[in-house]
Amino acid sequence: MPSSHVASYFHLVFSTKERRRLILPEWENRLHSYLGGVVHGMDAIPIKIGGIEDHVHLLVRLKSKHRLDYFLRDLKVDSSEWVHKEVTRMFEWQKGYGAFSVSPTAVEDVRRYIDRQREHHKRIDFKGEYVELLTRASVEFEEKFLW
């Protein structure tokens, strides 16, 4: 076979530093659009981006050339610089992230999940959601080291 074919989907999650509610509705859509532009600029495909005041979710399709940790590092650095320039200097992303592989058959379910973040967070906070994501993905963790 003369070429490579990769379907590598990820649900990425990261929060503001100390989960401060800094992503305000007035500029939230601009941030999500910017994140999508950064993803596209890194030659990946942004499928869905959403979140609420203290965190974001991205559903992306990566290529074989992407290294996940570098991809997330660059995404967070670039978007943080944009927030500093366009909105406020008082902004940082939390160190670390969640990255969950997504089966191509589950892409639409994850898209809907991200689309319903406001509704979802009426019943559960980010901490509870993140622990739930880790548990459902069978990721081992010690909660005392999460926060």
Query: What pLDDT sits at residue 74?
Result: 98
CATH of 8-145, one of 3.40.50.720, 3.30.160.20, 3.30.1330.10, 3.30.70.1290: 3.30.70.1290
User: Which tens digits make up the pLDDT trace of 96-146?
Assistant: 999 999 999 999 999 999 999 999 999 999 999 999 999 999 999 998 888
Query: What pLDDT sits at residue 3?
Result: 85
- Report the C-alpha gap between 67 and 71 in whole angstroms: 6
CB atoms inside a 10 Å sphere around CB 96 = 12
Q: Can you give the residue ranges of every domain in the chain?
A: 8-145
Burial class (CB in 10 A: 0-12, 13-18, 19+), 117: middle
HSE of 70 in the Cβ direction (CA atoms, 13 Å)?
6
User: Which tens digits make up the pLDDT trace of 9-49?
Assistant: 999 999 999 999 999 999 999 999 999 999 999 999 999 99
User: Which tens digits make up the pLDDT trace of 69-97?
Assistant: 999 999 999 999 999 999 999 999 999 99
Query: What pLDDT sits at residue 1?
Result: 62
